[in-house]
Chain A
């Protein structure tokens, strides 16, 4: 039994059946990719996992507990962190402050009224945030405004912010969308390193086959709201159904 169990999940928007009958099991400490053509329901599925959407049918269990009906911040506290397609960071705040916020959230919970403490006196949190920045190789940029970072650095920062919460499951929504090749490769290396060094499960939604085949241990192919096939990358590459639905052109191009 996996750390994330999705059973018979369906979601309908008006006349559109976005998700049909999705079953998915993500094994602990694995890297699991979900791929599929545009409109396959990848993002809808992700939104159902983090509490942004509530599916019409089915269940989503994380570590034996249902996440359905919980607010995003509660689901995050259960140990699920999400990285967005366009990096969601605190643009007006400094890089260090960006890193401090998840550290405070991890230690102090959803709300903590500490209006009379000086932020910079909290050595424990500051150390943790700086340590994380070093790990992300961003320590030299700590006083920069986060909005002025490059796209690749924003992504790094966002991933670092998620990791500083020590999540058990990291969800990534097209983490390399709109990135240059060099930035994409850096991100792949970073994610590889994360999955090697930590007890963490990574679920990744991606368009870029290069990213998927470099990272994933298992791949689920989603088409028209239902999982077409789930297998290892090697088997997926050669799978006739997948080639027909989705991959054929990419391989021809390669």
Chain B
């Protein structure tokens, strides 16, 4: 199917099913229960983040996973894509299609320029160069190009770039006639519209924005599978494996790495454009180096160089960030109320630092555990589990075969 081999087709079908059924899968607890408040993730905002960061990390993995070049400045392209999309909403139309196209083009141009310079070096020097470029972009966006009183206010600095009633919006300016800010849409469908389905105690939300982003993630995923299986993908893996041999095999490594860099930059631009399409507000903090670090962390968490790893990593990171930051002392007391008071207070006092605002600490620990015990990321964990089950199964079979002989 779709020119994929059997295993890839299966993987693609599973991911497609999970994306389409996510509103069910992510809402396992009935509405209003305390478990639902904590662990349900099936609301539009979070589901959108799952798939959008999925796109971002899938793209990052084409660079880092295949060529081994660790870019520490990918958030710059995410931010650039976000700004480009908001400008399109301000100037042309609230339709997300031109916005997404411009996001990808602008991010592609920036990644071409940054990649051309950064790829002159490899290893840690490449990472430092990309980091420097990303921080330069961040500072340009935050202050230099974002001074509201200057005539070239591209980013609106600290406040962030947002829509205004008096924006030109050449194609559909009239849409804002009622005095409210217009909403982003795909032709007739507004991104923020949702359809709610009540079944028993459960509430499932089907959000337009989520499905638009989800389908784009599936397309991105499909493209990445094709790249992984193409001669081009093999050349990228060869770059990671042995550049010397490539050079002495008549291959020029530079255009290969640059192409991978631009492709992954355009993925990041698309993700940025989608973030703005869901909420037309772009701020410089999206380009901060911590955001770039988070991309690296998501890729490594999931499994670098694997097809499904980026999606798993992005989902894991966003999900735990969300629930850990929701847990507060009150919730902890509720959970531990069966303990004697003194002990309860003591434990809550310790856990206090790991939840709520301290979610970074827990996520950091989880990250360390994965790196130490599963260097191949969560995907390696899955593979090990599958192996364990398989060997158990074959053990059982050989046992049952042996039984009659006894």
Contacts and interface: CB of A to CB of B under 8 A. Distances in A.
A91 B251 contact: no
B108 interface: no
Given A93-B237, A114-B230, A115-B230, A50 B255 contact: no
B251 A101 contact: yes
A119 interface: yes
B226 interface: yes
B229 to A, nearest CB: 6
A134 to B, nearest CB: 20
- Give the most central of B230, B246, B247, B263: most A CB within 10 Å: B247
Interface string A72-88: 11101100011010001
B338 interface: no
A88 B242 contact: yes
Contact of B250 (A77, A84, A97): A77
A114 B238 contact: no
A73 B250 contact: yes
Interface string A57-96: 0000000000000011110110001101000111111000
Interface stretch (A11-19, A102-110, A136-144, A217-225): A102-110
A92 B249 contact: no
Given A90-B245, A111-B251, A116 B226 contact: yes
A27 B299 CA distance: 54
- For A112, A122, A165, the residue with the greatest tally of chain B CB atoms inside 10 Å of its CB is A112
A161 interface: yes
A117 interface: yes
Contacts of B245: 88-90, 161
A77 to B, nearest CB: 5
B230 A118 contact: yes
Contacts of A236: none
Given A102-B249, A165-B250, A88 B244 contact: yes
A205 interface: no
Contacts of B5: 120
Given A76-B248, A114-B230, A104 B242 contact: no
A100 interface: yes
Nearest to A109: B250
A231 B255 CA distance: 45
B234 A97 contact: yes
B3 A90 contact: no
B259 interface: yes
Nearest to A167: B250
Contact of B242 (A91, A117, A122): A91
A111 B250 contact: no
A81 B248 CA distance: 7
B249 A76 contact: yes
Interface in B49-94: none
Contacts of B231: 100, 104, 108, 112, 114, 117, 119, 122, 125
Nearest to A110: B252
> Which residue, A74, A90, A108, has most C-beta atoms of chain B within 10 A?
A90
B5 to A, nearest CB: 8
Contacts of B238: 90, 93, 97, 101
B272 interface: no
Contact of A113 (B234, B250, B259): B259
B132 interface: no
B346 to A, nearest CB: 50
Contact of B234 (A100, A109, A111): A100
Contacts of A72: 247-248
Contacts of B232: 112-115, 117
A95 to B, nearest CB: 13
B235 A88 contact: no
Contacts of A108: 231
Nearest to A50: B248
Contacts of A106: 250
Contacts of A100: 231, 234
Nearest to A72: B247
B127 to A, nearest CB: 20
Contacts of B240: 92
15 contacts: A72-B248, A73-B251, A88-B244, A90-B237, A92-B241, A93-B237, A97-B238, A104-B235, A105-B250, A110-B250, A113-B259, A115-B227, A115-B233, A118-B230, A125-B231
6 A-B pairs with the lowest CB-CB distances in the bound complex, closest first: A76-B250, A110-B252, A90-B241, A111-B255, A115-B232, A88-B245
